[in-house]
Amino acid sequence: MTNCQVADFYPIQKLVAVNNKQIAIAAIGVKMVYQTGREIFHALKDINLNIHRGDIQLLMGPSGSGKTTLLSIFAGILTPSGGRVNLLGEEITKMSDKQLSRFRLENIGFIFQSFNLFPALTALENVQLALKIKGIRGKIAKEQALSLLSQVGLADKTNLLPRNLSGGQKQRVAIARALTGSPQLIMADEPTAALDSRSGQKAIELLRRLAKEEGSTVLIVTHDPRIMDVADRVVHLEDGMLVK
Ligand SMILES: Nc1ncnc2c1ncn2[C@@H]1O[C@H](COP(=O)(O)OP(=O)(O)OP(=O)(O)O)[C@@H](O)[C@H]1O
Ligand SMILES: [Mg+2]
């Protein structure tokens, strides 16, 4: 693991190589201002960051420093108040809502801090639904869903509803769901926070394998020292700014 080098902060226009590595995720002067009534809060102030393809990149920082906000902007879930975001060579901050939804569906797997599972669907159905949205149906979808659930150690829980799963098991269903369709970009907000040490290790190994064998770019918000061990790079946010 290395801390950010100067090259990481150079803005880019298109998918370009820095140090011979392609840039998968780039933030160029990203700002986020939240307004609640008359209160204005600058949650992100001029963020410039390049993340390399195939890297496991960690985003760390104290509570309230802006980690979830930045991750949500990278995933196209939140629109920044200023600046640009470039994913896989495409400027998502210029896309229409429709273009952005399609881009997200095809390229991004997002693991939320809260799991966001459908309560009326079983673990298997939650993963199958994600596949269906991506155009994969029937027997193939069922096989892929079962395979993903077994990779996160839930082979014996596929027919349970979320309310009958523990927090860590729900988190693992959410991880399996995010990995449907083998997205090139995986973004995870505290993916191991609810996991015991064995399932945490399994989830980390899965994310590591996706980055190193499939070339996925994995951006993780975490405080987990075990993830630090497998990370390629780490950046720190403090009061909405990147610090070295
Ligand atoms: N919708 C919102 N409206 C107003 N302020 C917000 C909103 N969302 C986040 N904030 C504020 O922006 C700051 C950054 O929030 P964010 O959720 O990005 O922090 P975080 O680093 O993910 O924290 P944690 O580690 O606790 O999850 C916080 O001070 C928060 O109160
Ligand atoms: Mg957060």
* CA 240 to ligand 1: nearest atom: 14
Pairing of strands 21-36, 17-18: antiparallel
Q: Which residue's alpha carbon is at the smallest distance from atom 13 of ligand 1? A: 64
- Provide the whole-model pTM: 0.89
Let me know if domain 2-243 sits in CATH 3.40.50.300.
yes
* CA 221 to ligand 1: nearest atom: 22
Protein residues whose CB sits closer than 6 Å to any atom of ligand 1: 34, 36, 41, 43, 61, 63-69
pLDDT tens-digit series, residues 41-56: 999 999 999 999 999 9
Among 59, 69, 71, 236, name the best residue to mutate to test ligand 1's pocket (greatest count of ligand atoms within 8 A of Cβ). Answer: 69
* CA 39 to ligand 1: nearest atom: 4
Distance CA 216, CA 112 (A): 18
Domain ranges of the chain: 2-243
Cα of 114 to ligand 2 centre, how many Å?
10
Ligand nearest to the CA of 241: 1
Partners of 243 in beta bridges: 236
Compute, in degrees rounded to 10, the torsion defined by CA atoms 188, 76, 212, 176.
50
Model pLDDT, residue 18: 53
pLDDT tens-digit series, residues 79-129: 999 999 999 999 999 999 999 999 999 999 999 878 889 999 999 999 999
